[in-house]
Chain A
Amino acid sequence: MKTESKLQKILDNGQFAVTAEIGPPKHSSAEGIRHHAEMMRDYVDATNITDNQTAIVRLSSIAAGVHVQSCGIEPIVQMTCRDRNRIAMQSDLLGAYSLGMRNVLCLSGDHQKFGNHPTSKNVYDIDSMQLIYYLRRMRDEKLFFSGEEIKEHEPRFFIGAVANPFADPFEFRVARLEKKVEAGAQFIQTQCIFDMERFERFMEMVRERGIHERVHILAGVTPMKSWRAAKYIQNNVSGMIVPDELVERLKNAEDPKREGVEICIEQIKYIKENIKGVHGVHVMAIAWEEVVPEIVERSGLYPRPKVD
């Protein structure tokens, strides 16, 4: 189903897409968001706007999306199931569309335990699978989640979802990805890839089922600033795998930040050249947005395609 999304046009044209991520701030100024958007503008096709990531209160993803859009970059509004019931979700989706947002990424969301409001109540009225399904139905069948008709101006989003090849049970990860595609996901961004071997096995299973022909998969990559950051993720973040070799390589580097960028570029080149079925990369430079243009350029992904 066609939408007005620029990202969709690029992916449907068969071009290798590049998306990045902008994390809204813990305050009410958009200055930083706008700075990052302007800096990335010519280097990415769209940027995710995270939705209170790690359950920390931040400027809203939809509001941030408007700022990003006004800087000439297409936003992908992230929407988690943690903080809104189905009423609030639909209301925000209608609002987001009215403000020009054309891409939505549906996620469960990190548990509030990890954030700055661990005593809050989570919602999870619906899960990410259901959000994908109902977003598609809103667009294609003009129905609210309840089944009531949307008489006019239904939101027509390009629907994204996430997949984590590093979570368990591994054998079911590809099946669950397929379930998301059947529910209506049109593009997939993966969790940060550090364990390339595991990602290759995942993609092999994806290809066996022919899923890569039904959805656009963007491989998630993250440049690391230090071996301590890598070690922290290795030990403390559930659903991520960081091989020891990567930690060691950063540890032994003279300039670990440079090394982190080099590793990221190597990964992108490797994925693009060697792993069939991957249609783009999603660069998650967490709290390090400045480095995105260099990574994109040196990975041979610059300039970005122009879309009418």
Chain B
Amino acid sequence: MIIAQQKPVKDVAAMISNCKKVLLVGCAGCVTVCLAGGEKETEVMASSLRIMRKMEDNPLETVTYTATRQCDPEYVDMLGNMVQDVDAIVSLACGVGVQYLAERFNDKWVVPALDTKFIGGSTVHGNWEEKCGLCGDCILHRTGGICPIIRCSKSILNGPCGGSQYGKCEISKDVDCAWQLIYDRMSALGKLDKLMEFQPPKDWSKSRDGGPRKAVREDVMID
């Protein structure tokens, strides 16, 4: 899932400092699961903003709504009437949701309340970690199910580099060396010979370097 984190409330407040009434839109998708922009977080953000503005003697009116998914036009459409009389929309979704709102309500000022961090999963409650680099050309079958594109700080495909020591990456003792993990796993699977195969460079045109990507499934298209 997409992992996002809230921006500091004062930063969000600064984006809407000239507004009298705003709509805060949460999202029931990924950001609910990672506790950044679900219904509860949206209500808390709204009340924090109201309190801040009240203390400044410049009260703010808020309306809140949590969409099933902000990355889907049919759920964004449901905001309809709520948008009309607000000065701005604060999205508590990932960057996709913010853009869907901005596209749908193109005469409204739409601001992000979250920083979209990465795609990953949770380890223990309250902890998430990055697992996929969205490279568009998965190679996990060659690296023991561990992604060097995003988990190696240098995205090395023929690792480990000379900075790997005691299982950790050179950038920090808190970061596992992805290639040590790959080595350990391949070793346990009896497939170390695979690591001797030369891995060619990535085709980055399948990643962001090919421009914004699209995925099409004609078999499920309705029109």
Contact = CB atoms under 8 A, between A and B. Distances in A.
Given A111-B163, A167-B162, A125 B153 contact: no
Contacts, number: 99
A286 interface: no
Given A179-B198, A182-B198, A129 B158 contact: yes
A111 B157 contact: no
Given A124-B155, A129-B198, A169 B183 contact: yes
Contact of B164 (A81, A113, A129, A167): A167
Interface in A74-117: 81-82, 86, 108-111, 113
B201 interface: yes
**Chain A contact surface mostly:** loop
A111 B166 CA distance: 18
Interface stretch (B40-48, B84-92, B167-175): B167-175
A239 B179 CA distance: 14
B158 A238 contact: no
A172 interface: yes
B156 interface: yes
B160 A169 contact: yes
B17 interface: no
A113 B175 CA distance: 13
Contact of A172 (B155, B160, B170, B171): B160
Interface in A239-266: 239-240
B154 interface: yes
B195 interface: yes
Nearest to B152: A124
A242 B13 CA distance: 52
Given A125-B202, A178-B196, 14 more contacts: A81-B154, A122-B154, A125-B204, A127-B161, A127-B201, A130-B201, A162-B162, A164-B162, A167-B161, A172-B192, A191-B162, A238-B169, A239-B170, A240-B165
26 contacts: A108-B154, A108-B162, A110-B163, A111-B154, A111-B170, A111-B171, A125-B202, A127-B156, A127-B159, A130-B157, A130-B158, A130-B199, A162-B162, A163-B162, A167-B161, A168-B165, A169-B160, A169-B164, A172-B183, A175-B195, A179-B196, A183-B198, A238-B165, A239-B164, A239-B165, A239-B170
Interface of A: 81-82, 86, 108-111, 113, 122, 124-130, 133, 145, 162-164, 166-169, 172, 175-176, 178-179, 182-183, 191, 238-240
Going nearest first, the 6 A-B pairs with the smallest beta carbon separation are A164-B162, A129-B158, A238-B170, A108-B161, A127-B156, A126-B201
